[in-house]
Amino acid sequence: MSKQRGSLLLELAIVLAFLTLISVGSIHWLAQRAEKAKTEAIAVWMQDARQGLQSFLTTHAAALLQSSPFAFPGIQNLGQPTLLELKKLGFLPPAFPDGDQLKIVLYKAQGCSEASCYLHGLVYNAQPFQTKKQRMDSDAMAYWQSVQKGEGLVVTDQNPYHFSGARLKVAHHELVEGLTFPPGTVALLASTDTSLLSNETGPVDKNPLFETDVNIDGALTVRDDARIGRYLILPRTETLGAACSSIGAIARGKDGKGLMSCENGKWIRPVVSMMSMDLYRQMIQTYWRITIPDSPGGFYAVQSVYYSYYCWLPNPRNLYYDGRGRCECASGYKKHELPGSTASEVKDTYFDNAIARPALKVFVCV
- Is 31 domain-assigned? yes
Task: Give the integer Cα–Cα distance in Å for 365 and 328.
Answer: 8
Q: Is pLDDT larger for residue 195 or for residue 192? A: 192
Nearest to 283 by CA among 43, 30, 24, 22: 30
Do 44 and 121 belong to one domain? yes
Q: Do 67 and 158 lie in a common domain? A: yes
pLDDT of residue 26: 45
Instruction: Please indicate, yes or no, whether residues 43 and 155 belong to a single structural domain of this protein.
Output: yes
Residue 160 lies in a domain: yes
Q: What is the pLDDT of residue 19?
A: 60
Q: Which residues contact 124 (CB under 8 A, 6 or more apart)?
A: 102, 103, 104, 105, 163, 181, 185, 186, 187, 188
Residue 252 and residue 137 share a domain: no
Give CA–CA dist 56/60, Å, rounded.
6
Give the mean pLDDT of 316-333.
71
96-145 pLDDT per residue, tens = 887 788 999 988 877 666 556 888 899 999 889 988 777 888 888 888 88
Domain annotation covers residue 309 = yes
CA distances from 108 to 62, 78, 160 (A): 13, 11, 22
DSSP H or E segment with residue 26? helix 2-59
Whether 149 and 246 share a structural domain? no
355 assigned to some structural domain: yes
In a domain, 99, yes or no: yes
> Does 183 lie in the same domain as 152?
yes
What range defines the domain where residue 65 resides? 11-196
Q: Are residues 114 and 246 in the same domain?
A: no
Residue pair 257/319 in contact (Cβ under 8 Å)? The answer is yes
Q: Are 236 and 249 in contact (CB under 8 A)?
A: no
Is 186 found in the same domain as 86?
A: yes
pLDDT digits (tens, 9 = 90+) for 149-164: 878 899 988 888 889 8
* Burial of 275: CB neighbours in 10 Å, binned 0-12, 13-18, 19+: buried
Examine the pLDDT at 360 and tell me if it is beyond 60: yes
Lowest mean pLDDT among 59-63, 166-170, 195-199, 261-265: 195-199
CA distances from 87 to 95, 148, 163, 276 (A): 9, 23, 26, 20
The answer to whether the CB of 188 falls within 8 A of the CB of 105 is no
Q: Is residue 275 one of the residues assigned to a domain?
A: no
**CA-to-CA distance for 123 and 53, rounded, in angstroms?**
8
Cβ-count burial 190-203 (b if 16+ within 10 Å, e if not): bbbeeeeeeeeeee
Q: What band does 318 get if pLDDT is binned at 50, 70 and 90?
A: confident
Q: Is residue 348's pLDDT more than 80?
A: no
Closest by Cα among 271, 249, 251 to 259: 251
Each residue's pLDDT tens digit, 5-37: 555 666 666 666 656 655 544 444 445 566 787
The total domain count for the chain is 3
Give pLDDT, residue 14.
65
Residue 264 located in a structural domain: yes
Report yes or no on 203 lying in a domain: no
Nearest-angstrom CA–CA distance, 32 and 349: 13
Together in a domain, 241 and 304? no
Confidence category of residue 344, pLDDT binned at 50, 70, 90: low
Q: Is the pLDDT of residue 45 over 80?
A: yes
Q: What is the DSSP string of 191-236?
A: ES-GGGT-----SPPP-----S----SS----SS----SS------
**Between 54 and 312, residue with greater pLDDT:** 54
pTM above 0.85, yes or no: no
Same domain, 246 and 305: no
Q: What is the pLDDT of residue 98?
A: 77
- Both 97 and 192 in one domain: the answer is yes
Q: What is the pLDDT of residue 124?
A: 94
Q: Are residues 146 and 57 part of one domain?
A: yes
